[in-house]
Structure 1
Amino acid sequence: MHTTPPAPQTRVPMSRIYLFALIELAALGALVTPLVVSLSLKVLQLVPETEKEGALGLVTALGALAALVANPIFGHLSDRTSSRFGRRRPWLIGGVIGGVAAAALIAVAPSIPVLVVAWVLSQAAYNATLASLSALLADQVPEEQRAKASGIFGAIGFLGLVPAMLVAALFASNLTVVVLAMPIVAVVIVVVVCLAIPDPPVERSDGEHGSVGQVFRAFLFNPAKAPMFTLVWVQRATMQFGYTVVSTFGLFYLMIRLNMEQVAAASLTSAATLAGAALNVVAAFACGYLASRRGNYGPFIVGSALLMGLSLLLKAFTQDLSVFWVSTLLAGFALGAYYAVDLALAMRTLPAGEEGKYLGIFNVAKTLPQSIAPAIAPLVVLIGGSDPVAGGDKNYTALYLVAAVAVLASLLTLPGLRRVLRRDVYDAGRADAAAAALKEEVA
């Protein structure tokens, strides 16, 4: 049977948490750069102008599917790794090395099928790093510091866009540099950080390697086995769904509701996205520190869901530019406030010995809505006929209302999370469970 290390009790230096976050920044930067520019440029090299949308959609969709599967699988594998180099470090480093190899294949890909293979490999590689990193947080960061860590990682998720945009701007004329720069930087950063952080090996009994079937079942879980984890997963997926609707359809909102030209709308959408991301970073840092001091995550979850719902309702019923700005900024702040506690809350619900697997599944709650929202939106905007605010044959009021209802309905999960929302209640529950286990062992 797997020997699970005890839950971390000793506070770690904040410098170590920032080193963990540096791994996140490097891996996300390497993963986001192709999505920002290089995949589009590569597709334009390989197919006629008229086929670019379909080709890029195919590449990114299959890559997203690879990410959904890879994250929990590699988290599961890292739980069961017993090398002298540690449980998580082999996957942290192996992931970014695989990412460089995949980037090289992207650079030289002669056709769309090869580009698909390269992007699928890239997604799988970097998700191995990200899944192992989340598990490393659960291994080493104690309960009273997890909200701070959650806030830092929530902010880093948006800061990861910065190096990607810089590389794309500075080397736009050299596709090879754009493709390879961030993956090479990621290897250097992750290797150096891994040499500086502890990751003690964990003993494992013979025969615990598990079957191939167990590995591929790593992205499945029984909600009845971890009911509170399931509720937190639903919370995260719903908040991400709401934000995806706000951010993804901002361009169309400006064109339909404000009658703006495409170029002007695209420029304004980019500015609004950056402003929302900046507020996300501020909220994640600030609320992470506040939540860590209070130990009560309930107010942050309620507040962030209410703000996100308000943002969606504002867009549903108005066609004013100032309302567009208010809505975008509210959504950015709301998601940042939620990211300040969501990872910390999830770590209170993880089954012992399966931290990597379940945190990998938890990461799916962030990525899956980014695929689902654009997929169902074309169906939702057909509900009820024309838009009651701006007219036309696409009902954007219905889209924002559906998203708002989903976000606000997620608050119904809170009664089921009472035992983990507050640190004092959570600690008392852990103490009772430990005492019961000891009593059973003595008996």
Structure 2
Amino acid sequence: MSHPESTLSGIARAADPAFVTAVDLGGRAAGPMAPAPPESEQRTSRRGVAAVLVGNVGNAAAGLMPPLVALPIYIGVYDPEGKAGSLGLTLGLLALTLLVFTPVFGAISDRTTSRLGMRKPGLLAGTGVLVAGLFIQGLATNVPLLILGATVMAVGSALFTASYSALIPDQVAPASRGRVLGFQSLILVVMGVSASIVGPALIGNQLVLFTAGGGLMIITTLITTMLLKDRLLDKKDVPAQPALRALTDGFAYNPKSAPDFSRVWASRFLVTLGVSFGGFSVYFLTDQLKVSADALPGLISLTGVINLGGTVIGTLGGAFLSDKLGRRKSLVLITGMILAAGGLITAFSPDVPVFMLATAVIAFGLGTFIPIDGALVMDVLPGGKAQTGKYMSIMTIADQLPRAIGPFLAPGVIALGALTPMGGYPVLYLFMGIFSIIGGLVVRKVKNAR
């Protein structure tokens, strides 16, 4: 799926009615270095919003197909007996790789003095590495090669994400971030649904299934770099420190120095940990609800359509309420309760229709959570504009660490749940609800945000 520039400009205008007076960060007359202005003076860049949204299309297309469709299917083919453990290992290593490398690349992004800008080099290099990982998975003939390809893909994703996650703070004023994040999450949902619809039709062609989004990502990344008026960093403004210190600085963070940021980090971690348990939905259908192999592709597509509807409604509502009310702490708690309700319904699903209802509830809750939580993160972001990439990458750990831990924990939870009358997969979804509610409660402790 792609958008012409005129459509993106329309989306950008809808995201910020003040675009008629917008200026591009890193403006044309700023000289060799264009530092970002203070947040109180920051304007939204129309081209910056367009770059953010275009880049998200390709990144989502390339990155979502493997974990949503391709890896569960082909791990089941190459390891039918140990598929739950193998999938957990693969997804866990993928997330762990992102966890380790994203902060490092984020610190490098904040020190990049390329003539292209601070963020463009990471976007381009990350795309190349990610696409290489897709080809490795597409050509794999066993689980170890799938794991290798997923790991290479994760390194590329970390490199891309470290620069991409800094674009909204760089290019979008605080008052517009909730809406831009809403459009961004809508794109993720549409591409995820596209993967769920297109993926089953490509199951017979492993290479195409894994690499279908790679070509699109190359195109959209090139368009993004052409649209983006990137910030430029002068070499004299880079802190003088050894190379190793510059790399490890991506992890240098004292939680006590920014307690609100730390609480939001913990909240996202817990909610994401709960959501990570939902990655076993294919096996819930086959093992818990006894869906046949012939019926599975159609149900994967149906699940994708339901996810689209639920998440679109949730995202639009969440993005609007986030900017309109500004009461993001209460809204995060509400979304945690919605996610918990979805997990509870899933756990007690007697058949496929009830499971699909639960899917819709979870999609609605997650869609609502993403723009609200994203805007709250930027409300409490420490370090100033000089460290945007670093702290956005640290927040990425709250996304990736639970995605690394969750798949490793899930097989154990499933095994323990199998000893109960409920069964393994229902207990897994109960844990999803528990973590979601706790995450919503933690964010209530944030003091300097509403």
So what's the TM-score if we normalise by structure 1? 0.79
Alpha-carbon shift at residue 270 of structure 1 (Å): 5.1
Q: What's 1:244 paired with?
A: 276
Q: What's 1:405 paired with?
A: 434
Q: What's 1:432 paired with?
A: none
Q: What's 2:108 paired with?
A: 77
* 2:51 paired with 1:19: yes
Contact persistence 2:69–2:200 (CA under 8 A) = no
Q: Which of 86, 95, 98 lines up with 1:64 in the alignment?
A: 95
Alpha-carbon shift at residue 345 of structure 1 (Å): 0.9
Larger radius of gyration: 1
Q: Which of 151, 154, 158 lines up with 2:182 in the alignment?
A: 151
Percentage identity across paired residues of the two chains: 25
Identify the range of structure 1 (308-317 vs 172-181) with the bigger mean alpha-carbon deviation: 172-181
Contact persistence 2:138–2:209 (CA under 8 A) = no
**Equivalents in 1 of 2:47, 2:318: separation in Å?**
19
- The DSSP-based 3-state class of the residue aligned with 1:418 is coil
Q: What's 2:379 paired with?
A: 348
Q: 5+ residue gaps in structure 2?
A: 1-32
Q: What's 1:188 paired with?
A: 219
Identify the range of structure 1 (76-85 vs 246-255) with the bigger mean alpha-carbon deviation: 246-255
Contact persistence 1:386–1:395 (CA under 8 A) = yes
* 2:352 paired with 1:312: no
Q: Which of 120, 138, 145 lines up with 1:89 in the alignment?
A: 120
* 2:391 paired with 1:362: no
Q: What's 1:223 paired with?
A: 255
Per-residue Cα deviation, 1:268-312 (whole angstroms, up to 9, x for no partner): 465235413431133113321332233231342122112122223
Superposed counterparts of 1:1-400, under 5 Å = 5-8=36-39, 9-12=41-44, 16-36=48-68, 59-106=90-137, 116-165=147-196, 168=199, 174-205=205-236, 208=240, 210-216=242-248, 218-219=250-251, 221-246=253-278, 248-249=280-281, 251-252=283-284, 255-256=287-288, 264=295, 267-268=298-299, 271-316=302-347, 319=350, 323-351=354-382, 352=384, 353-381=386-414, 387=420, 391=421, 394=423, 398-400=427-429
**Equivalents in 2 of 1:410, 1:127: separation in Å?**
24
Alpha-carbon shift at residue 212 of structure 1 (Å): 1.6
Contact persistence 2:54–2:223 (CA under 8 A) = no
Per-residue Cα deviation, 1:145-173 (whole angstroms, up to 9, x for no partner): 01112212222222232454566466655
Contact persistence 1:104–1:180 (CA under 8 A) = yes
- Give the AA of the match of 2:392: L
So what's the TM-score if we normalise by structure 2? 0.78
**Equivalents in 1 of 2:66, 2:414: separation in Å?**
30
Q: 5+ residue gaps in structure 1?
A: 422-443
- The DSSP-based 3-state class of the residue aligned with 1:96 is helix
Alpha-carbon shift at residue 3 of structure 1 (Å): 9.8
Per-residue Cα deviation, 1:9-57 (whole angstroms, up to 9, x for no partner): 3432556424312202201211223445556788799x78778887766
Contact persistence 1:150–1:339 (CA under 8 A) = yes
Contact persistence 2:88–2:407 (CA under 8 A) = no
**Equivalents in 2 of 1:179, 1:15: separation in Å?**
31
Alpha-carbon shift at residue 333 of structure 1 (Å): 0.6
Q: What's 2:448 paired with?
A: 419
**Equivalents in 2 of 1:328, 1:155: separation in Å?**
17
Identify the range of structure 1 (182-191 vs 51-60) with the bigger mean alpha-carbon deviation: 51-60
Contact persistence 2:336–2:436 (CA under 8 A) = yes
Contact persistence 1:3–1:204 (CA under 8 A) = no
Alpha-carbon shift at residue 203 of structure 1 (Å): 2.4
- Give the AA of the match of 1:71: T
Identify the range of structure 1 (87-96 vs 100-109) with the bigger mean alpha-carbon deviation: 100-109
Q: How many residues align?
A: 414
Alpha-carbon shift at residue 344 of structure 1 (Å): 1.2
Q: What's 2:24 paired with?
A: none
Alpha-carbon shift at residue 196 of structure 1 (Å): 1.5
Shift of the 18–379 alpha-carbon distance from structure 1 to 2, 3 Å rule, reads: same
Per-residue Cα deviation, 1:404-435 (whole angstroms, up to 9, x for no partner): 332222233234213122xxxxxxxxxxxxxx
Shift of the 177–412 alpha-carbon distance from structure 1 to 2, 3 Å rule, reads: closer
Shift of the 299–18 alpha-carbon distance from structure 1 to 2, 3 Å rule, reads: farther
Q: What's 1:438 paired with?
A: none
Identify the range of structure 1 (371-380 vs 108-117) with the bigger mean alpha-carbon deviation: 108-117
Contact persistence 1:313–1:400 (CA under 8 A) = yes
Shift of the 187–295 alpha-carbon distance from structure 1 to 2, 3 Å rule, reads: same
Identify the range of structure 1 (51-60 vs 357-366) with the bigger mean alpha-carbon deviation: 51-60
**Equivalents in 1 of 2:82, 2:412: separation in Å?**
24
Identify the range of structure 1 (124-133 vs 3-12) with the bigger mean alpha-carbon deviation: 3-12
